[in-house]
Amino acid sequence: MTRQIRLALRAYGVGGPGQHSLWKDPRVPKNASIDIDWYIAQAQAAEHAKFDALFIVDSQFIDATYPPHYLNRLEPLTLLSAVATHTRHIGLVGTLSSTYNSPFNVARRFASLDHISHGRAGWNVVTSLDSGTSRNYGLDEHLDYTTRYGRALEHVQVVRGLWDSYEDDAFPADVDRDVFVEPSKLHALNHEGSYFKVAGPLNLSRSPQGQPVIFQAGVSEEGRNLAAHVAEGIYAPGGTLESVRAYYADIKRRALSLGRDPNHVVIFLGAQPVVAATDEEAHRLSRDIYEADNDFTRKLAQFGRSFGAHDFSRYDLDAPFPDVAHLAEKSGRTRGTAIIERAKSENLSLRETVLAFSQYQPSPFTGAPETVAQAIADWFEAEAFDGLNVGFRTNEDLSRFVADVVPLLQKQGLFRTEYEHDTLRGHLGLPIPANRWAAS
């Protein structure tokens, strides 16, 4: 089968990271992040264009400096359950933390979404970046990296075990035999591990796709290892063509070394295409978008997220970058370490460091429709990604991409013109997992 591009849509409502001023745009409803009708419209537009999935991000810690969308948004599984009843094909991927949720509840909630959507659910496994989340769950400190990722691996294993509680043919509902369920096809998990003790079974049968699809996003060594072990879909960071190709090759290599089929690890690259009538107009628009949110005070506040929402405004901006390495260790360690290393190596002040990490960098997918489509095709064929996880500032931007860029990808045979499957696994070319009990 010819390799084809996958497309997912991430919806940020009134503005996610780097979009603090988006809520002021008259084209954006001021309540978009909590308006289910807005999400349904987004999902239906993406489904009309034959997208693979709608992706909902989430976190559970905020302060007043966080992006507007973060301050007032719907819980992912509740949101996606509503969207499921207004769509038929598009996958529905929600974010839940393995650090601050129990495996049984996660298994039940995603299995329920999978049934409601007739096999379109996916779980984006995160370990929670924001260290302040711990205080919302009765803990004084966020777990360290090793513990969080060790716990995440076992968490996913337990959830998958619970999803196998019933074999596929466990419910004959045979009136003549007076048999609703075959007891021999119901299995308790009886898991006892390093982090969890879960008996089971789950009180919900398997869905048409067997199990929801496991997604994961992470760039640290621990995150990449987790992805190689359990991820079927990955949300990868952006960067240069060289860096994203290196990430892609590394994840595929790790999966192969574990005996997995690399084609069953679908890597989505985060992207925010900017499309206009001409390349020049698109680049002017891209620059205008950057300038709209080029507020140093906001950037300084957002800078603290990698360091446990640390308040950097307390420091002299023109003094050397402060010693905050210990704050990154349990928060955004990968980015925090990169920030510290660059600040030290180049002897940067706090002001210079913030500016260095927030310079204008246009999306590689900026230009006229033909330019954007060709750039997407070039990166895809260079094995930088299997799909794009695209975000747009306004509905008009999404509509333009769908109307002007997607048909060009379809013309090249790089993107579907019709859905061929009814499940998320089918869209992504992933096999249905065999029930462990039936297989044995």
Model confidence at 50: pLDDT above 90:
yes
For 269-284, what is each residue's pLDDT tens digit? 999 999 999 999 999 9
Closest C-alpha to 124, from 106, 142, 112, 108: 106
Model confidence at 53: pLDDT above 60:
yes
**DSSP H or E stretch at residue 83:** helix 76-84
What pLDDT shows up at residue 18?
82
Q: What average pLDDT does the chain have?
A: 93
In percent, the amount of the chain with pLDDT more than 70 equals 99
Model confidence at 1: pLDDT above 60:
no
What pLDDT shows up at residue 295?
84
Residue spans of the domains in the chain: they are 6-279+364-439, 295-356
What pLDDT shows up at residue 96?
95
DSSP reduced 3-state for 123: strand
What pLDDT shows up at residue 106?
98
What pLDDT shows up at residue 66?
87
Region 23-27: mean pLDDT is 94
For 361-389, what is each residue's pLDDT tens digit? 999 999 999 999 999 999 999 999 999 99
For 320-371, what is each residue's pLDDT tens digit? 988 888 877 766 777 888 888 898 999 999 999 999 988 899 999 999 999 9
> Annotated binding residue at 58?
yes
Query: 10 Å Cβ neighbour count for 333?
Result: 22
Of 80-84, 125-129, 133-137, highest mean pLDDT: 80-84
- Neighbouring residues of 1: CB distance < 8 A, sequence distance ≥ 6: 429
DSSP reduced 3-state for 207: strand
> Annotated binding residue at 360?
no
> Annotated binding residue at 149?
yes
For the domain bounded by 6-279+364-439, which CATH number is listed? 3.20.20.30
Do residues 362 and 283 touch, judged by C-beta distance below 8 A? yes
The rounded distance, in Å, linking the Cα atoms of 53 and 214 is 13
Residue recorded with tokens 């329920």: 112
Model confidence at 440: pLDDT above 80:
no
What pLDDT shows up at residue 357?
87
DSSP reduced 3-state for 132: helix
What pLDDT shows up at residue 7?
98
> Annotated binding residue at 257?
no
For 395-409, what is each residue's pLDDT tens digit? 999 999 999 999 999
What pLDDT shows up at residue 311?
87
For 419-438, what is each residue's pLDDT tens digit? 999 999 999 999 999 999 98
9-23, 131-145, 262-276: segment of lowest average pLDDT: 131-145
Alpha carbon 215 to its chain centroid, in Å, reads 7
Quick one: pLDDT band at residue 254, thresholds 50, 70, 90?
A: very high
The rounded distance, in Å, linking the Cα atoms of 217 and 189 is 27
What pLDDT shows up at residue 123?
98
